[in-house]
Amino acid sequence: MIFFEQLGKFFLLLTKVFAKPEKYRIYYKQTLREIESLGINSFGIVVIVSVFVGAVITIQTNYNIENPLLPSYLVGVTVRDSLLLEFSSTMVALILAGKIGSSISSEIGTMRVSEQIDALEIMGVNSASFLILPKIIAAVFFFPILSLLSMFVGIFGGYLICVIADVVPPSDYIYGIQYAFYPHYISYAITKVVFYAFIIVTVSSFHGYYASGGALEVGRSSTKAVVHSSILVLLANLVLTKLILS
């Protein structure tokens, strides 16, 4: 019962969010601000995680296929496909759900419990749209960029470990990452990421927007935001993978 009530509330909030903006110029400014706080500020974590994961997949794949019959460029192929198909979309989204989801929901939740949202409403501002829409736009545009970044950096991480630790000959690795390359893997990843961005921002905003009480509840709502958006990202992954790849 509670589930359906929450679901109803969620979609009601979305209809408020997608109302016509009062003033485009201000929304534009807000969106730029969100691109900075949600997108650009996540560069670091995406780069670090992707470099390491790219390197680790390279080592592990090489370890697993140590068979003279298998050519060593297969390592490059595997690294590329793992990153493109799953890691740089879904895993990066899960990392971002933790970073961005909690920050969105605690920001909006704090505004709720300190009556800042009421203050917006009183002025005649559509608070849901004003606070959430710029975040959605920023994330939907910027998550794909982060995902592409993760692909490049991850593949580079694999190359780096080849050079440093002599896992497979770097030239074989380079050959491998170009071998049997399907460009639609990238569009597949980007499509998924756009959905993930929408899920993470709206679910986290929802939990913040309906926070009540004090600091404790704001903390709880941001935990819920991370958990729920992560689960929904995984569910969406399943559904989208089935839809797109079959």
Partner 1 sequence: MIEVKNVSKRFGDTIVLDNVSVNFEQGKTNLIIGQSGSGKTVLLKSIVGLHDIDEGEIWFSHRHFNALGFKERKEIRKEIGMLFQGAALFDSSTVEQNVMFPLDMFTDKSYEEKLERVNFCLKRVNIENSNGLFPAELSGGMKKRVGIARAIALNPMYLFCDEPNSGLDPKTGILIDNLIKEITEEYNITTIVNTHDMNSVVEIGDKVIFIYAGAKLWEGTKEEIMHTENKELNDFVFATSLAQKLKKQ
What track of x and - describes contact with partner 1 for positions 217 through 236 (by CB under 8 A)?
--------------------
d(CA 111, CA 200): 19
Task: Pick the closer one to partner 1 by CB: 68 or 124.
Answer: 124
Amino acid, single-letter form, for residue 89: S
Task: Pick the closer one to partner 1 by CB: 95 or 132.
Answer: 132
Distance spanning both ends of the chain, measured CA to CA? 34
Region from 19-27, 46-54, 153-161, 232-240 binding partner 1, contact rule CB under 8 A: 19-27
Regarding 36 and contact with partner 1 (CB under 8 A), the answer is: no
- Residue 90 and residue 192 in contact, taking contact as beta carbons nearer than 8 Å: yes
- 3-class DSSP state for residue 214? coil
Regarding 12 and contact with partner 1 (CB under 8 A), the answer is: no
Least Å from the CB of residue 153 to partner 1:
31
Region from 56-64, 122-130, 155-163, 199-207 binding partner 1, contact rule CB under 8 A: 122-130
Compute how many other C-beta atoms are within 10 angstroms of the C-beta atom of residue 161: 24
Read off the tokens for 232.
Answer: 């929904």
Residue entry with tokens 């074989």: 172
d(CA 148, CA 102): 23
Regarding 26 and contact with partner 1 (CB under 8 A), the answer is: yes
Give 70's DSSP letter.
S
Regarding 119 and contact with partner 1 (CB under 8 A), the answer is: yes
Regarding 116 and contact with partner 1 (CB under 8 A), the answer is: yes
Task: Pick the closer one to partner 1 by CB: 4 or 24.
Answer: 24
Query: Which bin fits 185, alpha (ψ -120 to 50), beta or left (φ > 0)?
Result: alpha
Regarding 23 and contact with partner 1 (CB under 8 A), the answer is: yes
Residues that bind partner 1 (CB under 8 A): 22-23, 26, 110-111, 114-116, 118-119, 121-126
